[in-house]
A and B are shown apart, each in its own frame.
Chain A
Amino acid sequence: MVAFNPGIRWDRVVIVDATAADASRQSAPKPGRSLHRFANPGRFLRLSGAVLPWLAAAGMVLTAIGLIWGLWFAPADWQQGDAVRIMYVHVPAAWLASAGYFALALCSVLSLVWRHPLADLAAVEIGPVGAGFTALCLLTGSIWGKPMWGAWWVWDARLTSVLVLFFLYLGHIALVRAFDDPVRGYRAGAILALVGVVNLPIIKFSVDWWNTLHQPATISFTGAPTMYVGMLWPLLFAAVGYTLVFAAIVVARTRAAVMERRIRALLMARADEAAA
């Protein structure tokens, strides 16, 4: 019998007889409220298939509203002029660079502690998307820096820590693909992701700990924003929109990875049958 057991890895098709199936049932985590109920590939594909179109549509609409509002209807800044409009791309990209890495670290914990099989796949798929948004953050920051600071790049604590984040993403992408046995790649990638998570508070507080050229935070969870509300709303729309787009891309890539794994498993099972 070919079984996709949520308590074990999907990397190999497991051929089990009735006794082995009973044994694996005993060792597998209990179904129900456990996170492992989402480890069933069929259930994940059904749920994500229902959510993905709404996620993608909402993300694209909100991003479009935020960007158009920011480009044409939001006021220019009295000091920066229209260069402030770059912030409607740069700030969401910066937020997603850090949030994406946090999600990567969360998946790594789920993978290392609970051996959640979907977490491995999600971590592999988050890496390139997070690297892409970090590159977008660095590029748009550089484009803003040239007219405002007179330089494309300065070795400022905030900029340098985000560059380190970009290299951490690249390291993770390379590491998870560097082993013949994918499980070893997932383990090594998860450890790297957890070590690299120390960089997130450094990025956040770099503008407070060091005397940086980069300005301190203008929006915080604890205090009122220090920016004009006519600029805040398009920024929030763009941030929420880009976040939903990021989530939609990761879900789509994870769905593709689950299906590709199932294809490999079916082909291997078919080859085994042909050989027998």
Chain B
Amino acid sequence: MTHLPYVVAAYLLGVLIPGTFAAAAFIRMRTARLRLAAIDWRRRTR
């Protein structure tokens, strides 16, 4: 394969940048959901 380092670098960025955003978003969402469940009396009584 020609230009292998360039292709590998581009694909790594193409996975890492969206992957980091996705992981951060899902961790933030999970943290918020757990925190809300802990303090929201409406959820606890269900």
A residues at B contact (CB < 8 Å) = 56, 63, 67, 71, 76, 81-83, 85-86, 88-90, 93, 128-129, 132-133, 135-136, 139-140, 143-144, 146-147, 242, 245-246, 248-249, 252-253, 255-256, 259-260, 262-263, 266-267, 270
Q: By the criterion CB–CB under 8 Å, are A90 and B18 in contact?
A: no
Interface magnitude class on chain B: 20 to 34
Q: By the criterion CB–CB under 8 Å, are B25 and A86 in contact?
A: no
Interface centre among B13, B15, B31, B39 (most CB of A within 10 A): B13
Give Cα A262–Cα B14 distance, bound, in whole angstroms.
34
Q: By the criterion CB–CB under 8 Å, are A82 and B11 in contact?
A: no
Q: By the criterion CB–CB under 8 Å, are B28 and A256 in contact?
A: yes
- Chain B contacts for A144, CB-based, 8 A: 6, 10
Q: By the criterion CB–CB under 8 Å, are B2 and A81 in contact?
A: yes
- In the complex, besides A144-B6, A248-B22, A249-B25, 16 extra interface pairs with C-beta distance below 8 angstroms are A81-B3, A82-B7, A83-B3, A88-B14, A89-B10, A89-B11, A90-B10, A128-B21, A132-B20, A136-B14, A259-B33, A259-B36, A260-B32, A262-B36, A263-B39, A266-B36
- Chain A contacts for B2, CB-based, 8 A: 76, 81-83
B residues at A contact (CB < 8 Å) = 1-4, 6-7, 9-11, 13-15, 17-18, 20-22, 25-26, 28-29, 31-33, 35-36, 39-40
Give Cα A146–Cα B3 distance, bound, in whole angstroms.
10
- Chain A contacts for B35, CB-based, 8 A: 259, 263
- Chain A contacts for B9, CB-based, 8 A: 143
Name the one of B1, B11, B33, B39 contacting A267, with C-beta atoms under 8 angstroms: B39
Q: By the criterion CB–CB under 8 Å, are A71 and B7 in contact?
A: yes
Residues A253 and B18 in contact in the complex (CB < 8 Å), given A144-B10, A266-B39: no
- Chain B contacts for A259, CB-based, 8 A: 29, 32-33, 35-36
Residues A82 and B25 in contact in the complex (CB < 8 Å), given A89-B11, A266-B39: no
Residues A135 and B17 in contact in the complex (CB < 8 Å), given A89-B11, A252-B25, A256-B29: yes
- Chain A contacts for B25, CB-based, 8 A: 249, 252-253, 256
